[in-house]
Amino acid sequence: MIIKRAQEVIRIEGKAVLALQERIGEPFQCVVELLLNCRGRVIVCGMGKSGIIGQKIASTLTSTGTAALFLHPAEGVHGDLGAVLEDDIVICISNSGQTEEILRLLPLFKRKDVPIIAMTGNMNSPLAASSDIVLDIHVEVEACPYDVVPTASTTATLAMGDALALSLFEARGLTMEDFALLHPAGNIGRKLLLRVDDIMRSGDDIARVDKDTPLSKTILEITSKRLGATCVFNKGRMCGIITDGDLRRLMEKKHDIHDLKAKDVMSASPITVPEGILAAKALRVMEEHSINQLVIVNKNGDPVGMVHIHDLLKSGLA
């Protein structure tokens, strides 16, 4: 019974979100264009559960390049309305469109001559009638068995807010680097700001041997640099790589290795990435090719660094 009920909640809320697709039309386009041209901030206003969703929408807008803040309706009539400036735009959230605290603010917003965008489930409500643009977020039924607890409606509102934020993000032509600058800390910051150059071993820490280096000395080079691999050079240019995996496979096949040289064991055309690449992308390259070491090269194809997969994992990318 518990599992069935939980599945039903997910089904109802999923249906409510999917139904929004049919309502993404001209009003939505107008809202995006209005917000794109906003010279002030986006003021998001909602009461109760709608207020909590409104706080998340304001946060998502801000983190994706649209300056926004949340205004609590009850606090608004007790002084916080001063945060609303003439160049701002207001988004009012109320599923019923009749929330008393929201309606009390509408004449004050109009006195400040700020555009009002409504997100409501009642297109015939006082809120809808008083707004410049209305986004329809109505749902057929709440997931609550008594159809009263805000569940499907708040989920739909959240999805509509995300659609707005990400549409604005792309319309502004912002890049991953722009997004990263807004998220310099935590896991997001590491994935979007940390570059392989910040982690790689460079200079004398790069393991390197000539193609004619005896295998015994090659093994010592791999061991001393503790990268599990060495670059192989021919006349100053990299021509291959030897990894500890290559050595293990060789020893399984051949007992006498003392007469071998680096060129006899190396893998030609090693996988490389350019310097400056995001560390997260370098990690994906290693995972895709099932390798533990990666050579970083400059624009001329010359090695400038090496990185081991453990270096990337220690940086907190996974």
- For every residue of 156-219, DSSP letters joined together read HHHHHHHHHHHHHHHHTT--HHHHHHT--SHHHHHHHH-BGGGT-B-GGGS-EEETTSBHHHHH
Residue 61 CB partners (closer than 8 Å, separation 6+): 42, 44, 67, 68, 161, 164, 165, 168
Per-residue tens of pLDDT for the chain, all 318 residues = 899 999 999 999 999 999 999 999 999 999 999 999 999 999 999 999 999 999 999 999 998 889 999 999 999 888 889 999 999 999 999 999 999 999 999 999 999 999 999 999 999 999 999 999 999 999 999 998 888 899 999 999 999 999 999 999 999 887 666 666 665 555 555 566 678 888 888 888 888 889 899 888 888 888 888 888 889 998 888 888 988 888 888 877 766 677 888 888 888 888 888 988 888 888 888 888 888 888 888 988 888 888 888 877 777 665
Q: Which two tokens stand for residue 311?
A: 């270096």
Residue 154 CB partners (closer than 8 Å, separation 6+): 49, 50, 52, 53, 95
How confident is the model over 32-85, as pLDDT tens digits? 999 999 999 999 999 999 999 999 999 999 988 899 999 999 998 888 899 999
The pLDDT of residue 104 is: 95
What's this model's pTM, rounded to 2 decimal places?
Answer: 0.68
For Cα atoms 83, 84, 86, give the angle at the middle one, nearest 5 degrees: 135
User: What whole-number distance in Å separates Cα of residue 207 and Cα of residue 226?
Assistant: 8
Neighbours of 213 (CB within 10 A): 19
C-alpha dist (Å) from residue 132 to 51, 140, 163: 20, 25, 19
State the burial class of residue 260 (Cβ atoms within 10 Å of its Cβ: 0-12, 13-18, 19+).
Answer: middle
The pLDDT of residue 153 is: 96
The pLDDT of residue 131 is: 97
Looking up tokens 């496979």 gives 249
Taking a C-beta distance cutoff of 8 angstroms, is the pair 304, 275 a contact? yes
User: What whole-number distance in Å separates Cα of residue 13 and Cα of residue 17?
Assistant: 6
Mapped onto helix, strand or coil, the DSSP state of residue 308 is: strand
| Domains (range + CATH), the chain | 2-174 (3.40.50.10490), 196-314 (3.10.580.10)
Which among 104, 105, 131 is positioned nearest to 116, based on CA atoms? Answer: 131
Which among 18, 32, 30 is positioned nearest to 156, based on CA atoms? Answer: 18
Taking a C-beta distance cutoff of 8 angstroms, is the pair 100, 199 a contact? no
